[in-house]
Amino acid sequence: ETGVTQTPRHLVMGMTNKKSLKCEQHLGHNAMYWYKQSAKKPLELMFVYNFKEQTENNSVPSRFSPECPNSSHLFLHLHTLQPEDSALYLCASSQEVAVSSYEQYFGPGTRLTVT
């Protein structure tokens, strides 16, 4: 399998549930990202990992907890979410640390609905 994959593609969860989103890239990239995409709003960068180390946390609430066990895998652990957290969560990867200079490859996203 090639590119960036995300599972699950759709997720419905209650506010008291705990769930995890998974992202995997098969491109040999060293940087991985989580974005939140809400309707009619700019793409919101949530977290950046370079070489498994978190380099950016864009003031994301603690109910979102990322994990990057290796350069190929990225998780987003979710707990006690709010309805306004419903959105499309996109994972992306790029070749290297110089984020501004490299093309980002996106996964298809996980459509999250919080009830």
Partner 1 sequence: GEDVEQSLFLSVREGDSSVINCTYTDSSSTYLYWYKQEPGAGLQLLTYIFSNMDMKQDQRLTVLLNKKDKHLSLRIADTQTGDSAIYFCAEGQTSYDKVIFGPGTSLSVIP
* 1 near partner 1, judged by CB under 8 A: no
Distance between terminal CA atoms of the chain?
Answer: 33
Sequence-distant (≥ 6) Cβ neighbours of residue 59 within 8 angstroms: none
* 96 near partner 1, judged by CB under 8 A: no
Q: Which of residues 45-84 bind partner 1 (CB under 8 A)?
A: 45, 48, 56
Tokens 């995997």 — which residue?
24
Q: How far is the CB of 62 from partner 1 (least distance, A)?
A: 22
* 109 near partner 1, judged by CB under 8 A: yes
Which residues make up the interface to partner 1 (CB under 8 A)? 4, 6, 40-43, 45, 48, 56, 90, 92, 97-101, 103-109
